[in-house]
Each structure stands twice: as structure tokens, then as C-alpha cells.
Amino acid sequence: MDTDLFGDCTFIGTVTELPLLGHDVRHFVKQPDAVDRLAGFGAVLHLAGLSNDPLGDYRPGLTQAINGAASADLARLAKSAGVPRFVFASSCSNYGASGDGFVTERSALNPVTPYGVSKVSAEEAIRALADETFSPTFLRASTAFGMSPRLRFDLVVNNLAAWACTTGDVRLKSDGMAWRPLVHVEDVALAYIAAINAPRQDVHRGVFNVGQTSENYQICEVAELVRSIVPNSRITFSNEVGADIRNYRVDCNHICHSLHDFKPQWTVRRGIEQLYEAFCDAGLTVEDFEGPRFKRIAHLQDRIDAGEIDEGLYPMKHSAGRNGSGDFATA
């Protein structure tokens, strides 16, 4: 299922064409034939949702409706349809403001954004459905980075590398002291494959931090890595500088020990090198990555202003929309 909100946002390459089942998850869960359409699937990998904090802040109620309530509704329908496995795209944002010590899957959750709150509420509702016939698994992904056809520039590693490549400035928008776990998007995909292939007893009601414990960085450390890789770049600070209340350092040992097929391949340094090479090859400009095409919230506002979608992110009846298919985390 994919609303295709970002179908016009391919940066490089092509996006694999997939058969589509339904559209907006909020709409799908209300359809009288939803259970029948889910019947026969061996698993649901539920990625749909407003995918970051700026989108979450846009309309907190909308975030809860899509990321929280609709996720729980989809899980209930999947269970009713006899789907045995349900893998939910959760987030390390659930830990929110957790200080400088390492947190594990058993640590207290402290979400500080509507996005994080919505993911926590969905986890709670879906976990309650678990029984001998329905096995949910929760993958709390670290902050993603790295190349993909539908590249996002509103992620910290990608954003810092883009600024450095186009302007020579590694442009920090905070004081850089906050901790963040980081994971390449290809390794996130590997985690889903590992979860779906794992024996049921290894993942039933299981929660997994997705990433590598060694790949936790303060934002200032990421900036220094970018500076060391992008020639003639320097670290600068924007006018938005201040402390970031989102601060969490995540222990990822559980997934490495429990999901034996999960073998992450990427470090942040290697990912920055990949980004730098791709940005140079593409002739990336500031206008490219700061414009509405590759900034999620700006792109949606652009489509609202164009009359293609309404304020609730539903398509306008008079608009044919834009072409494209598949997106990592849209409703």
C-alpha cells in the first residue's frame, strides 16, 4: 500500500515497480473487503506512516491517526485475515530524551515528539494482539542515512553531506552535542528480511533496535566525519543553533545476537563516502536538496498549495496526482 505522496521525488536510479494493494492505510482499514484482501499473505511489513519529526509536528492529530490508530487497525485486520506475522516499522525516536547512557529494548520510553508518541502508542496496541496465531515484531530503526532512489535530504547524515558537497559548509542546525544512533537504509532492509525469515519463537512479540552499537554518534562527530571526507569543507553553525532535546544512545546488541541473518554492512564513514560520490556525479545543488522535491514537509505543502492533496493528505477528487510508485515510509 502506498499513497504515492512522494512519487515525483526520485533522485537517482529507478524505483522497483510493485503491485499495489489499496492506497492510504486510513482508507484501506475502513473498506468492507479489507480482511479478504489481506487473506493469504504470510506476513505484513508495515512501513506506512508520516516518516519524521517535522511531518509529525505538521499536524500531531494527523500523525496519531496515521502512525498510531491506523497501524493498530491494520494489525487487527491482518489478524482477522489469518496473517501469521506482522512486522512493524517502529523507531528509536521512542527513547526521546534519554541522556548519554546506552538504552536497550527494555529501557523506559520517553518520546518527545508527536512522531515518537505515535510509534509508542502503535507498539502498545499491536503488542496486545499477540497470541498463538498472530506474531507481531517491532523494529525500532536508528536514524537512517545513505543512498536510495527516493533519497531523503532531511536526515542528518544526508543533510550534512549535501551541505558540504554543495557549499563547503558542514552546516549544523544544533549545538551538535546530542547523541543519535545511525543506520544505513540498506541495513534497515536487511533487518526486515532477517525478521521475516527468523523462526517465530525468535521474534514473537520481539522488540529490536536496528543498527550497530558502534554506530552511535554525537552530531558534532558526524559533522567532523563529513569535514574529513569532503575536500575543503568546514564546520559552520546556522542561526538555529541550540540544544536538541532528542538525545539517545542505543544498544543494538540484541538484534545482532538474536537475528542471525542480520549482518549490517555499513558504517557512517562509508555511507558519507557513498553520498559524496553520488552527489558529485549528480551535480547536486543547494536548490535541489533544499527545495520542495526532496524535503518531505515542503513537498507535501507544495502539493497542498497545488490542489493535489488536501490538508489531511488525502488526494483531491479533481486531481489526477503525480506519477510514480513505492516509498519507504508514506501512508
Is the separation of the CB atoms in 85 and 43 below 8 Å?
yes
Low-confidence ranges of the chain (pLDDT < 70): 22, 241-242, 318-331
Tell me which amino acid residue 295 is: K
Is the separation of the CB atoms in 264 and 120 below 8 Å?
no
d(CA 117, CA 93) in angstroms, rounded, equals: 9
Q: According to the model, what pLDDT value does residue 318 have? A: 57
Instruction: Output the nine-digit C-alpha cell for 101.
Output: 547512557
Alpha helices in 92-244 (DSSP H): 114-127, 156-167, 185-197, 200-203, 219-229
Under CATH, which number does the domain 25-305 receive?
A: 3.40.50.720
d(CA 1, CA 168) in angstroms, rounded, equals: 40
Spatial CA neighbour of 48 closest among 109, 105, 118: 118
Q: How far apart are the first and last CA of the chain?
A: 8
Q: According to the model, what pLDDT value does residue 329 have? A: 37
Q: According to the model, what pLDDT value does residue 54 have? A: 76
DSSP states along 305-321? HTTSB-TTSPBPTT---
Q: According to the model, what pLDDT value does residue 323 have? A: 43
Q: How far is CA 60 from CA 57, 63, 88, in A?
A: 6, 5, 20
Three-state SS at 207: strand
User: What's the predicted TM-score (pTM) here?
Assistant: 0.92
Q: Where are the domains of the chain?
A: 25-305
Radius of gyration from C-alpha coordinates of the chain = 19
HSE at residue 141, side-chain half, CA atoms within 13 A, is 25
Tell me which amino acid residue 76 is: R
